[in-house]
Amino acid sequence: MSFKKLLIDYHELIKSKQTLLLLATCIFAYLMTVVPMEGRFDWLELILLSFSTFIAISGATILNMYIDRDIDAKMERTKNRPLPSGEMNPNFALINGIIFTVLGLALTIFLWNWITCMVIFVGFFVDFVIYSIWLKRKTKYSILFGGIAGGLPAVAGRVQAIGNIDLIAILLMFFIVTWIPVHILTLSLIPQNLEGYKNAGVPMWPVVSSEQQTMRVIAGSALVNAVIMGVTAILMQIHWIVGIIIGACCAIMIILVLMNLIKPTQKLTFTIFKFASAFMLLGFVLLYIGAVV
């Protein structure tokens, strides 16, 4: 296997876009908290936090890919990934997943904050053990636990800055938790993806419930997502100009959601999906800007 092909396989194996998105929430949660604290910012701390979190998330993702390789092989969207396609040896992936996870958790020791270490470990445990191994193939509610795991990197960033878990950290986590169903369930409505979940025996929401109910769940989740961002902005007392921008985004989201709750349509659902996807990262960026200006 060439080095270039190995890099491409790793790119697929760690789901680079997803991993970098979660890492970004950790970094911005840290920055929006620590930068306003005069004399507190530390480049070395940020680098260690970023690297250890990236490695730990990558490790959990690789292990998830190892566990899911049988169902991925039955789905059109995932069948060409390195493991289900047979391009990578499962044992090689398993060893890499273990090494990445252990290394990522070990590096958190140098952060000198045991709470951050615990948050990152809990994120790994919830994602790999509770979500992937225990619940993913059993219940449609598994995505909630996947969302919790996805929200914990943001908590880690906040915790590293202040040394404890506060209300803002919890709100940041639930901002991501409520975004996850919007993202995953909308994609699961695509006929090709829906058929794949059925073939793989994964009880995704539209597989075991109606399309209308799924679209209402997406809308409801997006509604809570917007409210959480608005409350977070108020509690953080961000700059009023940035607050207006966040408020406008939340208002647009709420209007779209209310329209879809009254009369769910795929067009509106996918509009909510696109808006929520942009707002997920934009929200963190705006909170950072609003906290430091």
Classify 190 in phi/psi space as left (phi over 0), alpha (psi -120 to 50) or beta.
beta
User: Angle between the 142-162 and 16-34 helix axes, to the nearest 10 degrees?
Assistant: 40
pLDDT value of residue 9: 87
* Cβ atoms of 251 and 200 closer than 8 Å: no
Distances 235 to 114, 189, 229, 239, 279 between C-alpha atoms, Å: 26, 35, 10, 12, 19
pLDDT value of residue 134: 96
Mean pLDDT by runs of 10 across the 293 residues of the chain is 80 94 97 91 93 96 97 93 94 96 90 89 96 96 96 97 96 97 95 94 95 94 97 97 97 96 92 96 97 93
pTM exceeds 0.75, yes or no? yes
Token pair 């789901």: residue: 15
Q: What number of CA atoms fall less than 13 Å from residue 141's CA on the CB side?
A: 0
Given CATH 1.10.357.140, say whether it is the number of domain 1-165: yes
**Could you give the residue ranges of the DSSP H alpha helices within 86-210?**
90-107, 114-125, 142-162, 167-188, 191-200, 205-208
Over the stretch 26-75, which tens digit does the pLDDT of each residue have? 999 999 999 998 888 999 999 999 999 999 999 999 999 999 999 999 99
Helix/strand/coil for 39: coil
Non-local CB neighbours of 86 within 8 Å, separated by 6+ positions? none
Ranges of each domain in the chain: 1-165, 170-293
- Altogether, the residues listed in the chain come to a count of 293
The mean predicted confidence, pLDDT, of the chain is 94
Non-local CB neighbours of 243 within 8 Å, separated by 6+ positions? 233, 234, 290
CA separation for the pair 104, 78 (Å, rounded): 26
Over the stretch 233-268, which tens digit does the pLDDT of each residue have? 999 999 999 999 999 999 999 999 999 999 899 999
CA separation for the pair 291, 239 (Å, rounded): 7
User: If DSSP states are collapsed to H, E and C, what string results for 205-257?
Assistant: HHHHCCHHHHHHHHHHHHHHHHHHHHHHHHHHCCCHHHHHHHHHHHHHHHHHH
